[in-house]
Chains A and B, each alone.
Chain A
Amino acid sequence: MLYMVNKSPLMHKNLETCLRIAPSEEPILLYEDGVYAVAPGAKAESLVTKALQSHPIYALKADLEARGLQRCIEGVEVIDYDGFVALVEEHDVVPWL
């Protein structure tokens, strides 16, 4: 399953609760305000770094660019809209709204 998170990690617990449920190896896709989680130096950094040990984590490029996020935590894979579509085609989706 592809777990999709679109909420800011500092205002909402969505990413944290999603990571408690998502089984190891299942991919996590961050989009909209969810991409703030991959900003180096922010409070969610340790949560993401730890999650990367057991999940592939993707962040949507257009949402990163919109928010001025030029750097990502190492290990996060930045994908464009085509990559997004490919992931959704490949997996069943769990929107963690």
Chain B
Amino acid sequence: MTMRNQVAVLMRKAPYGSVYTAEGFRSIMGVGVFEMDVRVIFIDDGVYALVKGQDPAGLDMKSLGDGFPMLPDFGITKFYVHDHSLAERGLTPDDLVMDVEEVDGNAVARLLAESGTVLPF
């Protein structure tokens, strides 16, 4: 059933190559402030946003990998990562900066179907 106050934030882009990941992060913070039920889903190149050891000093940028683990302090606690997207990038949950729930494609579709709003990044 669709819940009007549930928001799914769909993170599909790699960090640093575009503004999407940083803008997605800001949107998650914004939605969280209004105490809505936020689910953050990392899929496709979006899983790269959570890879450990990001150091963008050479690009004169801030590490996005440092930002996501701080979100639970702001009440955002539901994070999902698509298992197939991790696997095809040679990654495992141990390579990520935080604990996230690994889900398959059907579970991703279910999360999206349950949400009243999908914010795509």
Q: Give the interface of A toward B (CB within 8 A).
A: 6-8, 10-11, 32-33, 36, 39-43, 45, 61-63, 65-68, 70
Chain B interface helix/strand/loop/mixed:
loop
Partner of A10, one of B45, B53, B65: B45
Given A10-B44, A65-B58, A68-B65; A41-B16 close (CB under 8 Å): no
Partner of A32, one of B16, B48, B65, B90: B16
Q: Give the interface of B toward A (CB within 8 A).
A: 13-17, 44-45, 48, 51-59, 61, 65, 88-91
**In the complex, chain B residues whose CB is within 8 Å of the CB of A63:** 16, 58-59
**In the complex, chain B residues whose CB is within 8 Å of the CB of A8:** 14, 17, 45
Bound Cα distance from A43 to B86, whole angstroms: 11
Contact in complex: B51, A67 (CB < 8 Å): yes
**In the complex, chain A residues whose CB is within 8 Å of the CB of B17:** 6-8, 32-33
Q: Which residue of B lies closest to A70 (CB)?
A: B53
Contact in complex: A62, B14 (CB < 8 Å): no
Bound Cα distance from A65 to B51, whole angstroms: 11
